[in-house]
Amino acid sequence: MQQDIPVLRMKSFEALIIIIILLVFISYSMISLGVVPHIPITLSIIGLIAYGLVKKVSIKDLEKGMTNGVQSGIGAVFIFFFIGMLISSWIAGGTIPTFIYAALSLDSSQYFYTIVFLVTSIIGLFIGSSLTTAATLGVTFISVATALDLSLAITAGAVVSGAFFGDKLSPLSDTTTLSSMVVGVDLFEHIKNMLWTTVPAFIISLVLFIFLSPGKQISNIDKMDELKEMLLELNFVHWYSVIPFILLAVLSMKKVSAIVTLGTSTLSALILTPFVQTNFPLEKILSLLYFGFKSETGNAEIDSLLTRGGMESMMFSISLVLLALSMGGLLLKLGIISALLDGIKKYLIKPSILIFSTALSSIGVNFLMGEQYLSILLPGNTFAQSYKEINLHPKNLSRVLEDAGTVVNPLVPWSVCGIFLTRVLGVPTIEYSIFAFFCLLSPVLTIIAGITGISISKLKK
């Protein structure tokens, strides 16, 4: 998102009141009333426009703020479209069904949540994209959990935890690169410094998922065998169906652009589709890219597992992302965000307070604007000089930005990541967030590090 020039200067207290009203209204509407987030966010936008007009801000400036906010989401919109097409093509080409078959073949269902966390962590680290990991392997694990009557909320929490662990530590990740760049720290020095908080968060999460896992072989082993046999009979399982995944992993590791990577993997799956789907004409292959794959096997469980994807399935998410970013653009244009950050800066005289304030700001930007990159950029630019003034190495700042910015975004129901994950995994953000242990622990551990001084690096004099 462009960092728009504010048209108003207000006191921090006034900005704080506005923010509290917005957060209480949106949270109450979604949690207590069960309203879809589009409505409270749209009403919040109307309220901010009215506030701006009362303050004599021109409608042209207000529209520009909204437009600038939306412009930052265009890249995410395209990614959403491509992932929607990827999921449907991977089902038609047998990639996701083959992964489901492999997951069902694991004789380790008593450690299911642990396996989900570990596998998504490894894949996320290799490809450097949390959303892609969730949209591919995450969908597979959710399908298996559905078939085995396991908790979808815990499974989704394990997927999100693993995917964001991998994304956070991967040198291929755009947020990892951004965090190091915004404060001028070497990328690998930044990753090495993150280990102080990331490894403990990973270990604690692993222990929790081991504790939550069933602990014994599940009783419905017959259902597993039945589903495996059905997938084989329907000609969904093939060794060559993993080719789209291999292409995705290789192109990601070579740092090819996300759209090219997703597009290439989708195209490869479409090429495989005629070999997997019999009597599947070209027009049907092309239609599934928009409408998604519609499984019509007659088996209710298989059909529910494999009816997914398509550009159409992303429309709910895209509309909400654009609304949330519009609200964020107004908050920037009206000077509300800058007033809050300026109000905090004058209290930053101790390392513990500075680190806590940075973490709180990154979390706040995620909740107020729903934008992952801004949760890094705004606090990074705002507090960089403060870290230097009290002799703290900038790698402390870059770590906090990741611990409280990058991994908090999927916990916010109206954020870009939260919206996407809810739509792809089919589990509400509020339900999976309490089990996304890695994402919950990271900001807590970074604040504890600031309070105790453990792993906090000083600038060399």
Six token digits for residue 379: 């606090």
Residue 255 has pLDDT above 60, yes or no: yes
Residue type at position 363? I
Pair 116, 162: CB distance under 8 Å: yes
Q: Which tens digits make up the pLDDT trace of 333-363?
A: 998 888 887 777 767 778 888 899 899 889 9
pLDDT of 1 reads: 45
Residue 70 has pLDDT above 70, yes or no: yes
Please name which of 294, 297, 291, 289 lies closest in space to residue 307, comparing C-alpha atoms.
294
Helix 374-389 vs helix 336-345: angle between axes, to the nearest 10 degrees? 30
Q: Whole-angstrom Cα distance, residue 315 to residue 80?
A: 9
Mean pLDDT of the chain: 85
DSSP string, 284-314: HHHHHHHH-B---SS-HHHHHHH-B-SGGGG
Q: Which phi and psi (to 5°) does residue 453 adopt?
A: 85, 0
pLDDT of 159 reads: 95
369 falls in which pLDDT band (50, 70, 90)?
A: confident
Q: Which tens digits make up the pLDDT trace of 157-177?
A: 999 999 999 889 887 677 888
pLDDT of 446 reads: 95
SS3 call for 434: coil
pTM comes to 0.76
Q: Whole-angstrom Cα distance, residue 281 to residue 50?
A: 53
Residue 153 has pLDDT above 90, yes or no: yes
Degrees to nearest 5, angle at CA 426 with 425 and 431: 95
Question: In the chain, pLDDT over 90 holds for what percent of residues?
Answer: 32
Residue 254 has pLDDT above 70, yes or no: yes
210 falls in which pLDDT band (50, 70, 90)?
A: very high
Work out the widest C-alpha separation in the chain, in whole angstroms: 73
Lowest-confidence pick of 191-200, 333-342, 445-454:
333-342
Higher-pLDDT residue of 421 and 30 is: 421
Higher-pLDDT residue of 83 and 218 is: 83
Higher-pLDDT residue of 456 and 31 is: 456
Q: Give the domain ranges of the chain.
A: 75-313+337-461
Q: Whole-angstrom Cα distance, residue 316 to residue 126?
A: 29
